[in-house]
């Protein structure tokens, strides 16, 4: 824990007692409201998004659930040295008393006011799983005509939710904001992608809308808060008609013009991927590599694995939190739009679970169910095409198999399923990772084993090979190719540069030599495979960011070579 964080936590402890005592006094002093009193806060229920509110470090957004009332609430997430402060300037009358209140839920939640001209006040809650009301009061100075009302969370704590903020007292003349009117009909509805069991839709935002209803063949099937949705559970090779309507507290708009989409033919284990494909991991964090948005990722990559989903407190369940601050203000809406654009260009974008420090554990039936449900939820929320299993701290073959089969049932046969085991995990078919891959072979897209950070390993001929050579790549790939995986399910995973991994980097030319050796029996080292594997899937790299930092040398060289394989 860093020293700045420690100092702030100590201050919280001493402040909390003082605030609690002050609150007890403040609450008893609140008297009956005048008949002329009004709520002077604008967009107090966040039904118009963040209109009239300003949140520090892009920490705030609006959500449909949980909401205390209406169809929206504020969700604000502290990160690093930011406490997720959301504020509004409110017009007030001088020399007047106001009651300040808000409903809160989630992590540490604070409500306060500054600029009163007398004594600024605040109150707080240490966190709650249910909505609770925070209330205090303040009096304005003789010349005070506006105050700043704010909510915030606390450093290192979870997100908080706020709704129905009230600054109740004499009308300050700023207006509480107009009552919402039924929003306009959405325009620009289009089909952004299809699989054999799903259709992805996108449309233009509507001013004043807090959500959107999706209709399939005239029947409402779901509601979302963003401007995109993926409808799943559809039949293959079938045409459907879709419409969308905008909603807010005042009601629902007329339905948009209909668009027709036809699902793809039945497929599995990769859908419409090219026969030879390149996979790249995209970093949802800044570790010194080039910071990218998905739109910046080289077009050489056919599968983009978003790294990483995070474990939750629910066993087996995962979530995803876009590091907007670390990625230069990259918003969730931009991220989703970039996913759709990549998919429109024929690419697949999947969510990777695990990584070097990943702690996701699927060790029983309940956690397997939680894993499948949570990953499927992320696929629906963001439009991911599937999942990558990169659990570097071990897995249970029985229950991970159960989880992946349950997920496939939910997502449909076009779900992309990739794996990125370490070299030790694929030395024998008795290893849990290898068993898992074989257990789900019928729905598996590709295993991109990591040929790095491993030291020397055995090849399929029983000889020891050193990492960083063409023999290491071909002799270890041979274990998978002869151990039960289809060649189309085997890829070579290498770091994009010397900075991307602690050891095992080889030049792109060596990667290409290994691909040639395995597919055409040319450019081999001392190890010669007993046969060729022309349908070998391709190659993978960690990461698109490190590749970009090196001028995309890896993807330009290996990507072009993979796509030119016969």
Question: What are the DSSP calls for 263-328, one per residue?
Answer: PPPS--SSTT--SSEEEEEEESS-SSSPP--GGGS-TT-SEEEEEEEEE-SSTT-EE----TTTTT
Mean pLDDT by 10 residues, the chain (566 residues): 28 35 33 60 92 93 88 92 93 94 93 95 87 92 95 90 92 69 89 73 84 92 84 79 87 91 57 87 96 97 96 94 96 96 94 81 93 95 95 86 93 92 92 92 93 92 93 97 92 96 93 97 96 95 97 97 93
Give residue 229's pLDDT. Answer: 85
What is the rounded CA–CA span in Å between residue 63 and residue 163? 10
Question: Phi/psi at 264 (nearest 5 deg)?
Answer: -75, 170
- Residue 379, token pair as written in the block: 């696929």
Contact at 8 Å (CB) between 426 and 449? Answer: yes
HSE toward the beta carbon, residue 252, CA cutoff 13 A: 13
What is the rounded CA–CA span in Å between residue 278 and residue 560? 9
Q: Write down the residue that tokens 């859908």 correspond to.
A: 271
Residues 6+ apart with CB under 8 A from 32: none
- Residue 499, token pair as written in the block: 């900075």
Say whether 355 sits in a helix, a strand or coil: strand
Kindly list the distances between the CA atom of residue 513 and the CA atoms of 134, 266, 469, 472, in Å, as whole numbers in the listed order.
66, 35, 10, 12
Give residue 458's pLDDT. Answer: 93
Question: Phi/psi at 68 (nearest 5 deg)?
Answer: -75, -40
What is the rounded CA–CA span in Å between residue 227 and residue 243? 13
Among all residues, which ones are annotated catalytic? Answer: 392
Question: Phi/psi at 388 (nearest 5 deg)?
Answer: -115, 135
User: What CA dihedral angle connects 152, 44, 207 and 181, to 10 degrees?
Assistant: 170
Greatest Cα pair distance, the chain, in angstroms, is: 92
Contact at 8 Å (CB) between 237 and 263? Answer: yes
Alpha helices by DSSP H, listed for 85-147, are none
* Nearest partner of 553 among 477, 495, 473, judged by Cα: 495
Give residue 413's pLDDT. Answer: 83
Give residue 8's pLDDT. Answer: 27
DSSP state of 180: P
Give residue 442's pLDDT. Answer: 84
190-262 to CATH, choices 2.60.40.10, 1.10.10.10, 3.20.130.10, 3.40.50.2000:
2.60.40.10
Give residue 264's pLDDT. Answer: 61
What is the rounded CA–CA span in Å between residue 395 and residue 404? 12
Residues 6+ apart with CB under 8 A from 493: 279, 420, 448, 449, 450, 451, 452, 539, 540, 541, 542
pTM for the full predicted model:
0.56
Task: Report the CATH architecture of 277-563.
Answer: Alpha-Beta Barrel (3.20)
What is the rounded CA–CA span in Å between residue 111 and residue 116? 14
Give residue 231's pLDDT. Answer: 86
Whether a cis peptide bond, with omega within 30° of 0, leads into 211 is no
Q: Write down the residue that tokens 């006011």 correspond to.
A: 113
What is the rounded CA–CA span in Å between residue 125 and residue 2? 25
Contact at 8 Å (CB) between 167 and 87? Answer: no
- Residue 482, token pair as written in the block: 């002869």
Report, in angstroms and rounded to the nearest whole number, the Rg of the chain calculated over CA atoms: 27
Give residue 176's pLDDT. Answer: 61
Contact at 8 Å (CB) between 450 and 391? Answer: no
Contact at 8 Å (CB) between 378 and 388? Answer: no
Contact at 8 Å (CB) between 448 and 540? Answer: yes
Give residue 177's pLDDT. Answer: 52
Contact at 8 Å (CB) between 339 and 200? Answer: no
Give residue 180's pLDDT. Answer: 57
Kindly list the distances between the CA atom of residue 42 and the CA atoms of 84, 166, 210, 286, in Å, as whole numbers in the listed order.
20, 9, 16, 37
Contact at 8 Å (CB) between 431 and 457? Answer: no
- Count of C-beta atoms within a 10 Å radius of residue 406: 18
* Nearest partner of 137 among 269, 266, 259, 24, judged by Cα: 24
Say whether 306 sits in a helix, a strand or coil: strand
Say whether 28 sits in a helix, a strand or coil: helix
Contact at 8 Å (CB) between 247 and 227? Answer: no
Give residue 68's pLDDT. Answer: 84
What is the rounded CA–CA span in Å between residue 26 and residue 139? 11
Map out the domains of the chain as residue ranges. Answer: 3-169, 190-262, 277-563
DSSP state of 82: B
Give residue 163's pLDDT. Answer: 93
Give residue 17's pLDDT. Answer: 38
Question: Phi/psi at 153 (nearest 5 deg)?
Answer: -100, -150
Give residue 293's pLDDT. Answer: 97
Say whether 511 sits in a helix, a strand or coil: helix
CATH 2.60.120.260 fits 3-169, yes or no: yes
What is the rounded CA–CA span in Å between residue 228 and residue 491? 32
Evaluate the CA torsion angle 529, 535, 537, 538 in order and state its sign.
positive
- Residue 268, token pair as written in the block: 């599995």
Give residue 325's pLDDT. Answer: 95
């Amino acid at each position: 824990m860093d020293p700045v964080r420690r100092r702030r936590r100590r201050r919280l402890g001493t402040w909390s007692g003082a605030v609690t005592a002050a609150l007890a006094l403040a609450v008893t002093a609140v008297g009956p409201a005048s008949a002329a009193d009004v709520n002077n806060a604008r967009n107090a229920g966040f039904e118009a998004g963040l209109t009239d509110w300003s949140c520090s470090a892009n920490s705030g957004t609006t959500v449909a659930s949980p909401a205390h009332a209406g169809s929206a609430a504020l969700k604000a997430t502290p990160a690093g040295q930011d406490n997720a402060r959301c504020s509004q300037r409110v017009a007030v009358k001088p020399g007047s008393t106001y009651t300040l209140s808000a409903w809160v839920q989630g992590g540490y939640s604070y409500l306060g006011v500054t600029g009163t001209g007398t004594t600024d006040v605040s109150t707080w809650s240490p966190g709650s799983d249910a909505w609770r009301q925070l209330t205090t009061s303040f009096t304005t100075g003789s010349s005070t005509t506006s105050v700043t009302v704010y909510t915030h969370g606390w450093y290192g704590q979870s997100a908080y939710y706020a709704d129905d903020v009230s600054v109740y007292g004499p009308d300050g003349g700023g207006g509480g904001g107009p009552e919402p009117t039924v929003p306009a009909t959405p325009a620009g509805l289009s089909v952004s992608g299809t699989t054999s069991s799903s259709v992805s839709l996108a449309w233009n935002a509507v001013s004043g809308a807090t959500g959107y209803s999706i209709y399939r063949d005239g029947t409402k099937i779901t509601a979302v808060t963003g401007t995109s949705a993926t409808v799943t559970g559809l039949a293959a090779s079938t045409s459907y008609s879709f419409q969308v309507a905008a909603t807010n507290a005042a009601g629902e708009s007329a339905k948009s013009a209909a668009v027709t989409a036809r699902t793809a033919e039945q497929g599995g284990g990769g859908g419409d991927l090219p026969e030879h494909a390149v996979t790249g991991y995209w970093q949802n964090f800044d570790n010194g590599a080039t910071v990218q948005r998905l739109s910046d990722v080289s077009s050489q990559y056919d599968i983009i694995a978003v790294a990483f989903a995070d474990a939750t407190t629910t066993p087996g369940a995962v979530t995803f939190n876009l590091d907007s601050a670390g990625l230069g203000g990259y918003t969730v809406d931009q991220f989703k739009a970039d996913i759709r654009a990549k998919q429109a260009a024929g690419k697949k974008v999947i969510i990777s679970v695990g990584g070097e420090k990943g702690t996701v554990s699927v060790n029983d039936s309940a956690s397997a169910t939680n894993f499948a449900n949570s990953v499927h939820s992320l696929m629906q929320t963001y439009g991911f095409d599937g999942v990558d299993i990169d659990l570097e701290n071990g897995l249970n073959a029985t229950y991970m198999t159960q989880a992946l089969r349950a997920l496939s049932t939910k997502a449909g046969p076009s779900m992309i399923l990739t794996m990125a085991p370490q070299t030790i995990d694929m030395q024998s078919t008795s290893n849990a990772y290898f068993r898992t891959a074989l257990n789900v072979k019928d729905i598996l897209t590709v295993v991109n084993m990591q040929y790095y950070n491993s030291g020397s390993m055995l090849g399929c001929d029983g000889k020891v090979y050193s990492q960083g050579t063409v023999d290491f790549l071909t002799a270890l790939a041979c274990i998978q190719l002869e151990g039960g995986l289809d060649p189309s399910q085997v890829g070579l995973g290498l770091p994009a540069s010397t900075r991307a991994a602690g050891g095992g980097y080889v030049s792109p030319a060596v990667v290409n030599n290994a691909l040639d050796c395995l597919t055409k029996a040319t450019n081999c080292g001392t190890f010669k495979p007993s046969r060729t594997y022309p349908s070998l899937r391709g190659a993978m790299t960690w990461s698109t960011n490190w590749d970009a930092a090196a001028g995309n040398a890896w993807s330009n060289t290996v990507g072009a070579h993979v796509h030119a394989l016969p």
